[in-house]
Every structure is written in C-alpha cells, then in structure tokens.
Amino acid sequence: MAKYFGTDGIRGEVGVSPITADFFLKLGWAVGSVLSEKGKSSVVIGKDTRVSGYLFESALEAGFLSAGVDVNLLGPMPTPAVAHLTKAYNASAGVVISASHNHFEDNGVKFFSSKGFKFNEECQHNIEEKFSEDMVSVGSQFIGKARRREQSVGRYIEFCKLSIDDYVDLSGLNIVIDCANGATYHIVEDVFSELGANITVINNDPDGFNINLNCGATDTDNLRDTVLQTGADMGIAFDGDGDRLIMIDSLGELVDGDETIFIIAKFWKQQGRLLKNTVVGTKMSNLGMRQALKSLEIKFIEADVGDRYVLEEMISSGATLGGEGSGHIICLDKCTTGDGIISALQVLEVISSTNKNLNQLKSEMQKFPQVMINIRTSEKLDLASHKELTKIRKHVEDDLGEDGRVLIRVSGTEPVVRVMVEGKDLALVQSSAEKLAATLR
C-alpha cells in the first residue's frame, strides 16, 4: 500500500508532513533517481498560484538537479498544460505543484509520464522505495541544469485553440469566465477572445492566498450572479489548477460534468466522432445521464471514482470521452488528462454548430435529484459486514425501484463514508439518504 501517494498524487496541509520543504527536496531526488536509471533525463515543473508554490518549486528543483536531471520551469500553469508540455518539450516527466480545488493552506504534487499520462502505481511504488535510501547527490560534473521556458503559455494557448474545428465562430457569444484566482488566470482571455467570443473574466487576480476562495468550479455563486447581472449567454468556471469545468447557463442554472459529457457525447455521435460509441463515467455518474446515453444507444462504462480510473477504462475500452460530475472531463483524442479549457471549447463548438443555447442543450438530459451525506469516521468501516446497514439499504432500494439507486463508499481521500442516493422523487431520495446516514452514525 502506498505511503505517500493517494488517488491523485500527494496532497495535504502545508507544513504538516509530508507537505514540507525537506520532503519535496527528497521527492525531487527520488523521482529524478528513478528517471535517471533509464539515462539522461529532464522534467518540466508547473504550479498553480498558491503562495507555497514558490517554496516547493525550489525544493523540487534542487532535488531533481541533485539527481542529475535537467529542469524546465514553466511557472504558473494549468495541470493539463503541464501534461501537454511534457510531451511538447520531449521531457521524461511532468510535475505539477497544486492542491487542485483546495484552499491555499493545502498543496501537493502530481506527476505525468513522458506520454502525458499520470504516473502508474508501479512508478509510484519505485519512487517510494527510493525514500528508504539516503539522499546522495551526483558528482558536480553531472548536476542537472535549470531553465525557464518563457514561451510555454503561448504554446498552450495555441494548443487549446486548435482543439476545435476552424469553422467554429464564437463571435456574438457573451461569456463570463471564472478563473478561481488559479492557474488559468493568464490564459483564458487570449484563448476565448482570439476565437471571437466577447468575454468578461472574473477572479483572475491571484495573490497567493485567494485561490478557490468563494469562486471557481467549487463555488459558482459569484459566477451565476455575474451571468445574470450582465445578461451573458453563459458562465465558465475552472478550479485552481484548471482541470475541472463547471458551467452556468443564461438562466443561472448550473451545468455540471455529467451534463457536459452528455452534450459532447450526443454531438460527437452525430458527427461520427464518438469512438467505440462509448462514454466512461464513474459510480457517481448521475442516473439521468446514464438513461439519456442509453436512449441514444451510447454505451456507458462505470469506473471507480477518480479521473485516473476513468482514464484507465477509456484506454482499455478505446473510448475517447469520459469524466466525472465534478467537472473532470477527458477528451482523449485531444489531451491525456482532464482539461477545463479544452472541455469548455468542445461545448462551445456544439453551441456554434447547432445554434442551440446551453440551457437547451442541457435540457435534453433530465438529471435525477442526488443527495450526498458524508459521515466522518475515526476508523475504517467494513461496510459489507454491517448487517443493519444492509437491511436498511434493501428497504431503500425497494422503495426507489428502477428509477433510483444507492451508493455507499469509503472515501479514498478523507476519513469519511459517502452515502449517495438518487432517484426521480427528491423527497424520497432525501429521506432515504438520511435513513442510511443515521444507520451508519
């Protein structure tokens, strides 16, 4: 079992082990040592806008250099941009210093292979094995070199713009974009305005502390208010590292990842672009999306929760579209990880091609009410042997029938059990979730 790596890299509170400068120093050395076993190596390092990024960037850089690995510093850069630039610069690995949608008090790190995919479990295991060794620097003549890649932002902007067809015209669209005071703050204006859209950008003034603070994909109240006040056609929200997308339509209604995936999937099928006629989601994917895809004769594959598991199923099945309701959407024919900007552009291409607005497109799928209750626990629970829970769950599932479902799972990132119930009747869904939660408590 991994000691440091979780479902999405390493993450935690700054200053609390392992999110410390000395750990990141040795981490850089450990990763660099593993990479160097295959010969001379180089990495790219990007980060989001939280203040601790300065600290951990320097520590990782020193660790890599001491292992003889060359370092390309990208500065503030969305997670998917780092995945793309790892390939573009022919680097051995890509590194992102970020805690994604968390507030500034947290930070973490994610790694990408030379192909732009997140490190697999074998690679993570090899890195953790290195931690049992003493950190020893290479000789002075073999120390790595570092350089700043000043053209990286421009390269990623062009990559994003090329992700949709040339005929797409965004002129006449009024869009509000929320950057979450994160890593997309210096990118979105060029991407969307150069494609013709009239844009208003909010929360694009990071100060190291305001990342994800009352803004972005996890808090869309400010975006919704701005869309309604300005009469915009839609709002687009990214999270701190730019790999999530949540949208707001012109009526102020939220459009989540499941609805976005459906919009893209339907259009791609009509265009003959939905490879294997398949979409990959997770156990949390809304029942309404599953039924809507089924009505279009699109196959749905359920993966474990987490974008890495979605990607594994996509590669295994040959699918090119997948993601989560939280807004992680992977368009595998365009990028190797969730990319908020790329995903938003796919939706805008649908709007441009169909002359339908976002609310109309969203309404073609009827999302089922879903209630989630998190139960904090001090110890790992064996849900399968919880007899009372099994009995109550059977009653709940009988009440819901075929138009509802129950999912109870232990979180992989927090000490909580997540109880999720969904169905057509909100009152029944709410009461059912509360019954199950009360039984666990």
Helices first, then strands: H and E counts in the chain: 14, 18
Spatial contact of 432 and 406, defined as CB atoms under 8 Å apart? yes
Alpha-carbon distances of 384 from 186, 297, 392, rounded to whole Å? 48, 34, 13
How far apart are the C-alpha atoms of 151 and 149, rounded to whole Å?
A: 6
Strand partners, 13: 106
Q: Which residue in 66, 92, 100, 326 is the catalytic one?
A: 100
395: number of Cβ within 10 Å: 12
Q: Which residues of 238-256 are buried (b: 16+ CB within 10 A; e: fewer)?
A: bbbbbbbbbbbbbeeebbb
Is residue 53 helix, strand or coil? Answer: helix
What DSSP assignment string belongs to 210-261? -TTSS-STT--HHHHHHHHHHT-SEEEEE-TTS-BEEEEETTS-EE-HHHHH
Whether 8 and 306 have beta carbons less than 8 Å apart is answered as yes
Instruction: Give me the amino acid identity at 244.
Output: R
DSSP 8-state assignment for residue 422: E
Q: Which residue has the tokens 């003959």?
A: 272
DSSP state, residue 237: E
CA separation for the pair 87, 423 (Å, rounded): 43
Single-letter amino acid, residue 66:
S
Closest CA to 333 of 315, 347, 312, 306: 315
33 is catalytic: no
- Which residue numbers are catalytic? 100
